[in-house]
């Protein structure tokens, strides 16, 4: 059961947790997220030493190793500022599962305090910054995919939709079986490649069936998997991180 959060007032400073996939595959999405936050008058602090949140180790059953990763990450963010995460999947790990890793340990209080400071980007923009944007772009259609953890642990498919709904010239199209997994699932795709391939083939078919001009997601793990499959199939549709799509629409940087 999801427990409703109590959101703080808009802060003057935040930490940005870019995630390793954004850092490695789409640093522009990280820069665009910083621009979105700075537009709201917030100073953004990026810690270069940040690494993986520990989710792959945790979901594979390596609790001891994931505890060490988690503790190393927590130590990088000592100030009591919000930690804004560019992935609902990583956000779910850091907000929910860090608590489980350190339950009944000597570090439980410190870890729980950190977890309360973790927010996924769209959640933060809607519920903390309370953004109200104007769309500067031409009429366009978009279809959105939300990762399983982002949807079920953080429930940020709701806040992502709220941001897109503020874009008056953008039509959000619905894919069939919207809530189904794309087949990536981190190590799942490696351990069960045939099942993963069948799942992403379903997902790409449903996305393309919408005939949307744009495809967005706030999780780069899903984007890598889906974009790779789309490219392999020879499809023109390619996804981008939601932060980049939003910034382009409100600042008029259109392709």
Question: pLDDT (tens digit, 9 = 90+) per residue, 4-41?
Answer: 788 999 999 999 999 999 999 999 999 999 999 999 99
Cβ proximity of 184 and 192 under 8 Å: no
* C-alpha of 1 from chain center: 21
Average the pLDDT over 175-201 and give the result: 93
Per-residue b or e along 68-93, where b marks 16 or more CB atoms closer than 10 Å to that residue's CB: ebbbebbeebeeebbbbbbbbbbbbb
Question: Which pLDDT value is given to residue 1?
Answer: 42
- In DSSP terms, which residues pair with 241 in a beta bridge? 217
Asked whether residue 254 carries a pLDDT value surpassing 50, the answer given is no
Cβ proximity of 87 and 96 under 8 Å: no
Q: How many CB atoms lie within 10 A of CB 50?
A: 19
- What distance in Å separates the CA atoms of residue 86 and residue 20, rounded to the nearest whole number? 10
Cβ proximity of 223 and 88 under 8 Å: no
Asked whether residue 3 carries a pLDDT value surpassing 80, the answer given is no
Tokens in use for 25?
């595959």
Asked whether residue 235 carries a pLDDT value surpassing 80, the answer given is yes
Q: Is 253 helix (H, G, I), strand (E, B) or coil?
A: coil
| pLDDT tens-place string over residues 107-166 | 999 999 999 999 999 999 999 999 999 999 999 999 999 999 999 999 999 999 999 999
Cβ proximity of 102 and 111 under 8 Å: yes
Asked whether residue 2 carries a pLDDT value surpassing 60, the answer given is no
Contacts for 140 with CB less than 8 Å, ≥ 6 apart: 169, 170, 171, 213, 214
Best CA proximity match to 57, nearest among 71, 67, 47: 67
- What distance in Å separates the CA atoms of residue 98 and residue 105, rounded to the nearest whole number? 12
């Amino acid at each position: 059961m999801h427990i409703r959060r109590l959101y703080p007032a808009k802060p003057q400073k935040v930490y940005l947790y870019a995630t390793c996939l954004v850092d490695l595959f789409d640093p522009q999405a990280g820069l665009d997220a910083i621009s979105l936050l700075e537009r709201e008058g917030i100073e953004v602090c990026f810690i270069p030493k940040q690494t993986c949140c520990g989710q792959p180790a945790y979901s594979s059953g390596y609790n001891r190793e994931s505890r060490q990763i988690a503790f190393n990450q927590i130590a990088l963010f000592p100030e009591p500022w919000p930690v804004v995460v560019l992935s609902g999947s990583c956000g779910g790990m850091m907000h929910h599962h860090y608590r489980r890793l350190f339950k009944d340990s000597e570090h439980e209080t410190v870890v729980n305090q950190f977890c309360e400071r973790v927010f996924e980007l769209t959640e933060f923009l809607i519920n903390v910054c309370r953004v109200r944007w104007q769309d500067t772009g031409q009429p366009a259609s978009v279809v959105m995919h939300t990762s399983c953890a982002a949807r079920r642990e953080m429930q940020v498919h709701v806040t992502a939709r709220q941001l897109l709904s503020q874009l008056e010239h953008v039509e959000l199209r619905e894919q069939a079986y919207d809530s189904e997994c794309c087949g990536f699932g981190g190590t799942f795709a490696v351990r069960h490649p045939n099942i993963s391939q069948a799942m992403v083939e379903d997902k790409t078919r449903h996305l393309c069936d919408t005939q949307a001009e744009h495809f967005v997601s706030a999780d780069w793990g899903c984007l890598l998997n889906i974009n790779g499959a789309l490219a392999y199939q020879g499809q023109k549709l390619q996804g981008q991180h939601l932060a980049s799509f939003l910034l382009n629409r409100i600042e008029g940087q259109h392709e």
